[in-house]
Structure 1
């Protein structure tokens, strides 16, 4: 398999999909996911206990086969993505919404996002926003990290 980018090469050299997935699923730092060159996969923690073995095997096998290039290309093309979405700038969501996010979600921790969500900006664009629920100690994979809260609890 041809490795198209620098980070893909480093992932492959460091141990492949397994180490990258362990890093991704266990990330719990209040800042962007940093992958310093040649150090990104040092001291990678084990998979978190909320992720089952069969799920790990599925993700590892799929990403070993396909690589992470598709997901990484989204970020490589981030400026183009913004250009393509420009016609919807300022669009409003006009359906009832309950926004649930983990306090450790990397998307939520991006500069300005917390302020947008909690400071009324989101309510301006999502007129029927019913509630914002921020789950403590939870990151991006909230359905897997806290399935009982997400599936059963009525917020």
Structure 2
């Protein structure tokens, strides 16, 4: 077990510990802090446990056991070679397996970006295990009659990033060429400080233009992230070398397969208590037609929705850009569960 000592205010309530847990035959790296009811924090793309650095101490101080894994394919965790090993069924299975490996029976599951569909899906399939669910940035998946990648391609064109990511090896090599530039570019471009977020714009790669040329690194990082933070992300991804981003990209390569595998659950509701948080400058709001339409679309599928919070001026990296508001919303959800008994 290793110990990661946070700096500044994040260190007020002790150290985050790190270890590897075997889940379903895969080794998953986890970071954890605190004791009490279990709260799982699931990161998105291209991130890792460190994306939750501002949540550990406040949640642990409030009496919760906080665990943030590197999900399969990411950072220090195992990276299966088979593309089909990254479906939402696999990922939800990892969550359930991790809860059991931690010696717990139930947990509150929180996800951001790709972690949000994993959290929503786990809550849908295993409400007996998920006490409550919170999704940041990405609402519960809604699958229509047309395969998602085809629908997105028809709506946004061949250069839409999720379609661009489908070809194995292409985006993988471009993103891994200079990881520091990749993290600086992606984290800035999708943030509320970027000119691409006012109003929010979808990520499109024009024909013949290199992927990273569409999101050049900023001359100066916004205040919510530092060069030291970028260095941590780079170091966490170093294990997989030229395949550093392949595991995460393989999640995108299963979008259509997820629709097929979860067809039997189409139209089902997520019945556990729920929270949704997003920024009004998040590109996901552009997919939904704006924050108001996004929130309105939550009502039917989340009958136990406790709150839908839209953060003004916030971009895609919700818990990193606006940690105080996110922490307050999470603690409100958690404390409400305690009050319910």
Whether these two folds match at TM > 0.5 is: yes
Distance 1:61 1:151 in 2: 26
Task: Indicate the residue corresponding to 1:44 in structure 2.
Answer: 217
Distance 1:9 1:143 in 2: 28
Q: Which of residues 162, 170, 195 is equivalent to 1:6?
A: 170
Once the two structures are TM-superposed, the CA of residue 130 in structure 1 deviates from its matched residue by 2.7
Contact 1:102/1:135 (CA < 8 Å) preserved in 2?
yes
Q: Please say which of residues 36-45 and 69-78 is displaced more in the overlay.
A: 36-45
2:273 matches 1:96? yes
Distance 1:10 1:116 in 2: 35
Normalised by the length of structure 1, the TM-score is 0.78
Q: Which of residues 16, 27, 32 is equivalent to 2:202?
A: 32
Change (3 A) 1:85 1:112: farther
Once the two structures are TM-superposed, the CA of residue 138 in structure 1 deviates from its matched residue by 1.0
Contact 2:276/2:308 (CA < 8 Å) preserved in 1?
yes
Which consecutive unaligned segments of at least 5 residues does structure 2 have? Answer: 1-167, 334-341
Kindly report the root-mean-square deviation, in angstroms, between the aligned alpha carbons of the 2 structures. 2.6
Distance 1:34 1:60 in 2: 24
Once the two structures are TM-superposed, the CA of residue 17 in structure 1 deviates from its matched residue by 0.9
Q: What does 1:1-155 correspond to in 2, within 5 Å?
A: 5-13=169-177, 16-27=178-189, 28=194, 29=196, 30-36=200-206, 37-38=209-210, 40-41=212-213, 43-45=216-218, 46-66=220-240, 67-111=244-288, 114=291, 116-119=293-296, 121-152=297-328
Contact 1:34/1:40 (CA < 8 Å) preserved in 2?
no
The count of residues paired between Structure 1 and Structure 2 equals: 149
Higher strand share: 2
Normalised by the length of structure 2, the TM-score is 0.39
